[in-house]
Structure 1
């Protein structure tokens, strides 16, 4: 006849079993590998919640969760919730965010090598361009962005001038007030006799509306997203520039992770992931051109070969200026630019 054991007196495990478990734990044998401790990472993005970059970053984080068996979870904070767009590099450095979306061009002079990627007329597209810029910048990131752990770099689909008066030639910039996307575009504006008006993307519509700026350099889809299509009506149809971005991590957060978790992060910080994360945004920006062209009262215009040539010539002093800053930072500007162009050619993103 079976006797029912009293629930308050469970059978004690035999001593040898306990000893085996303790020994296995002490040796860290695979049989009872301790589960990685749970880590939550804060991701900071300064673009509005509905921007296509945010779901792409979320998908990246979801893949990390899966690859880490649920031990690394993430919360994404869009719309400058953790801090201003201009501060995101320092937010990653200081641990205000564990990962931060950074526009290096928001801090002119701080990242001279990366500024080369925003020189005019280099990139033909955003998707392949993102893999190209990442593969290139990996060789410089550890030195130029040494306060953070570099994850990857990417670009948006090429942007151009959107303005309240038509711009066809470089000489048209003289006397104009322009909000440049990057410090490199800003140098071009200054060299052409224009004035730069600094404003982050979320502040730009207001600047144009109040007449503080006459024109802006911006990618196509975002013109509608930020409501800038309500205040400008002329749009130059030329791949003038791209803005380089980086996705960087707080070093301390990375260092505190287990070896397995670090490996998961490293496997999500690649050129392939740069292109995956940038892809939906590139599609969105590219699609903006047709949307604006279909709006009544907007003029989207191509440049003649002569006009395009004039712009390329006008951009040459910006490259010379950039080369000086790179030399001062201890790099060879020709080698840096040749490497970027080779990477663009390799990834089919050269103009």
Structure 2
């Protein structure tokens, strides 16, 4: 009897240890380059963290680190997630050259709206970029809302107004677009924009409304060129949310299922829709700024801008084809997917 009780106690103890290990809370380190006041921090990433906590019954939680608090530079975020410095990162695809297949969504006048284009970007990535993502667990691929042109000393109402201006742009394709429209492109991560504007390093910048107030762009510039929203967007930027593959692989099956449930096409669409949805909030800040003059660029003028930059599509196709890929098919696929999801 004594032996039986000892065995029972041992078994119960092992079960308790096993249950404790199973129920242990795992905290994921999430890293991004924007301030803690931005929609990316307060809602986009915070909502994902809330959802995985709910679905895992609090066995998965997050700690979100904004503004590169864990060290490094914005261009290193993908590598930080890949190498396990952090568990999850939110970053631009442009910071990781091997993700250039995704640049197709950054070509001029490609995007209809951010929600539809984010769904399209996810599907396209599944078809064409799986090999590029094999060193991480990719959670989402999305875009932001329509970009605007902000300038300090001169209003932009026609393409000719851009001539000679030094304009910050976020990515390789957008820099090319800015150059083809007559400006001098200056590539830099968005956190550097306020200092560059205040010191006269740049005359203006292309940025969406949602992030501009957090960068004090409404104070540091005086003119906003907003494109007619019934026309395709002047440009957008592609973002990715990589998760460390070893961290994902280390999770028990039920927690992997939680991550899977909260990643993919619909998470991408949520990120795109949420980020673009904050454009209205950002625009109100500009409308309330006495120094700001907002000009709406009409369709007729945008047709001229499109014609001036159309060759970028061909150049991208040629580049992809030169790397042994079906550049023409990739461009057509991205276009068709955007059309499919645009309502």
TM range (shorter): 0.7 to 0.9
Which digits, 9 at most, give the CA deviation of each residue in 1:296-315, with x for residues without a partner?
23221122333111111112
Q: Which residue of 2 aligns with 1:53?
A: 40
Q: Which of residues 228, 231, 242 in structure 1 aligns to 2:217?
A: 228
Q: Which of residues 255, 260, 263 in structure 1 aligns to 2:254?
A: 260
Q: Which residue of 2 aligns with 1:197?
A: 186
Which digits, 9 at most, give the CA deviation of each residue in 1:252-282, with x for residues without a partner?
1112122222121111112112222343322
Pick closer, same or farther for the CA change 1:287–1:329 going to 2, 3 Å. Answer: farther
Q: Which residue of 2 aligns with 1:136?
A: 124
Q: Which of residues 241, 244, 248 in structure 2 aligns to 1:250?
A: 244
Query: Which has the larger displacement, 143-152 or 11-20?
Result: 11-20
DSSP-derived class of the 1:124 partner: coil
- Counterpart Cα distance in 2 of 1:123 and 1:249: 26
Pairs within 5 Å for 1:15-164:
17=8, 35=22, 37-55=24-42, 56-82=44-70, 83-107=72-96, 109-164=97-152
Q: Which residue of 1 aligns with 2:230?
A: none
Pick closer, same or farther for the CA change 1:290–1:58 going to 2, 3 Å. Answer: closer
Which digits, 9 at most, give the CA deviation of each residue in 1:31-66, with x for residues without a partner?
x89725542211011110010111221221122122
DSSP-derived class of the 1:41 partner: strand
Q: Confirm whether residue 297 of structure 1 aligns to residue 291 of structure 2.
A: yes
- Counterpart Cα distance in 2 of 1:329 and 1:38: 45
Q: Which residue of 1 aligns with 2:311?
A: 317
Q: Which of residues 182, 187, 204 in structure 1 aligns to 2:171?
A: 182
RMSD across aligned C-alpha pairs, in angstroms? 2.7
CA drift of 1:317 comes to: 2.0
Q: Which residue of 1 aligns with 2:195?
A: 206
Contact 2:224 2:293 survives alignment (8 Å): yes
- Counterpart Cα distance in 1 of 2:259 and 2:162: 45
CA drift of 1:185 comes to: 0.7
**Which 4+ stretches in 1 moved above 6 angstroms?**
18-25
CA drift of 1:193 comes to: 4.4
- Counterpart Cα distance in 1 of 2:161 and 2:314: 22
TM-score (norm 1): 0.86
Q: Structure 2 regions of 5+ residues with no counterpart?
A: 228-232
- Counterpart Cα distance in 2 of 1:106 and 1:23: 47
CA drift of 1:180 comes to: 0.4
Q: Report how many residues are paired.
A: 333
Pick closer, same or farther for the CA change 1:201–1:23 going to 2, 3 Å. Answer: closer
Query: Which has the larger displacement, 178-187 or 322-331?
Result: 322-331
Pick closer, same or farther for the CA change 1:20–1:229 going to 2, 3 Å. Answer: closer
Larger radius of gyration: 1
CA drift of 1:167 comes to: 2.2
Which digits, 9 at most, give the CA deviation of each residue in 1:172-228, with x for residues without a partner?
333221100221110112334432222211110111111111110100132212101
- Counterpart Cα distance in 1 of 2:11 and 2:194: 68
